[in-house]
Structure 1
Amino acid sequence: MNLPNKITIARVLMIPLFVIAVLVPFPFGTWPVGNADLPVHHFIGAVIFAIAAGSDWLDGYIARKYNLVTSFGKFLDPLADKLLVTAALLVLIDISMLASWMAIIILSREFAVTGIRLVAAGEGNVIAASGLGKWKTTFQMVAIVVLLLHHFPFSYAGFPAGDVLMWIAVILTIISGVDYFWKNRAVIMKTM
């Protein structure tokens, strides 16, 4: 097993650590952040999530740079991303930091795109991620971290940065989903 695939597997293994860090109310106390208190375990969860999200960029960079792209990696990498984002969105709903409808939009797009990619792959067609899709992912990841940090450092000014970033992520999710289906309509119609 090559290094990028090991990094991807490590990302999957970080997911339960992230969930435990955020949802188990460890008695670590809180830090004042603006008008609220940031539970230390939420901070730990944000760090774990940020490392896991960053590992997505790292494994892809290493795989491309050293020509270590494998079929296993092509399958596992996007799956790991979907599992990480799904876990984070569900955790944010559980701690009342995210509206469930936002998660439904994001997850519906992810499952629909993944399903179409799998069908297209079965037909021998590879559908690559678009620039819009990469921006969508970036905003999702950053929004999740800022929400876990209770809008820090913007919380001192009373600015709900995490909410604004998540709105942008949802809008980009919708736009990139429409763009994805439009650009790949021929492939989609061929598989029907």
Structure 2
Amino acid sequence: MKVQVKKDAFKIPNLFGYFRIILAVVFAIIYLNADSPTDYYLAAGIIALSGFTDFIDGQIARRFHMITDFGKILDPVADKITQGTIAFCLTTKFPWMIALVILFLIKESYLGIAGLKILKKIDSNEGAKWYGKISTVTLYVITFVLILFPEMPDLPANILIFICMAVMLNAFILYIRLYRRLLT
């Protein structure tokens, strides 16, 4: 098992996962030190590159049969690190993002703990559901817009943040229902 993890750790899709984690750090540095529109555009470009590499790693893994158990863990971890980093950084410009970050942390903590319990009970990973994917896409689209327009007025920014929170809360509730059913 240990040898297999070492071998799987360096498969191309997993290298993209590491790259996305590095991109999250680079994004944070650029965004938190931005002082011109060009800096914000660069930060948005980094997120776009991260999203593109996320798409590509999945395509490569499926097409070339490089799906690994290690990758099934690394990919969502890289996603959550990226999403959390973006949301946290945006709290510096948009105060209501703090509420979104709190909801994100509660949701992801619950899903992580419940997911481990389910894995232990049924020895299977349910994977992301459609409502989780919609929540993720909504988060990326809205945060991308907020990155591109850091001087957006409060009202439209807050409306976008509340939409994102509503979609995230809906996904959270649906996952709670699913996980309770699987755990009983």
Offset at 1:12?
A: 0.7
Counterpart CA distance in 2 for 1:45 and 1:16 is 11
- TM-score norm. by structure 1 comes to 0.81
Deviations along 1:1-60, whole A, 9 cap, x unmatched? Answer: 21111111110111111011111245xxx3xxxxxxxx3212211111121123222212
Partner residue in 2 for 1:187: 182
CA separation in 1, counterparts of 2:96 and 2:57?
29
Give the conservation status (yes or no) of the 8 Å contact 1:151–1:159. Answer: no
Q: Hey, which of these two has a bigger chunk of helix by percent?
A: 2
| Amino acid corresponding to residue 44 of structure 1 in structure 2 | L
Q: Deviations over 1:90-141 (max 9, x none)?
A: 1000233643112211221122112211222233131221101101000100
Match of 2:136 in 1: 137
Contact 2:44–2:144, Cα closer than 8 Å, also in 1: yes
Q: Assess, with a 3 A threshold, how the Cα gap between structure 1 residues 164 and 67 changes in structure 2: closer, same or farther.
A: farther
* Residue segments in structure 2 that go unaligned for 5+ positions in a row: 1-9
Q: Distance in 1 between matches of 2:65 and 2:108?
A: 27
2:3 corresponds to:
none
Aligned-residue Cα RMSD (Å) equals 2.2
* Aligned counterparts, 1:37-48, within 5 A: 39-48=37-46
Aligned counterpart in structure 1 of residue 22 of structure 2, from 3, 6, 13: 13
Name the structure 2 match of 1:147.
146
Tell me the residue number matched to 1:72.
70
Is this contact kept in 2: 1:136–1:172, CA < 8 A?
A: yes
Q: Is 2:34–2:40's contact at 8 Å kept on the other side of the alignment?
A: no
Percent identity, aligned pairs only, is 25
Moved over 6 A (4+): none
Question: What is the number of equivalent residue pairs in this alignment?
Answer: 174
Mapped pair 1:172 → 2:167: yes
Consecutive unaligned residues of structure 1, counting only runs of 5 or more, are: 31-38
Which has the larger strand fraction?
Answer: 1
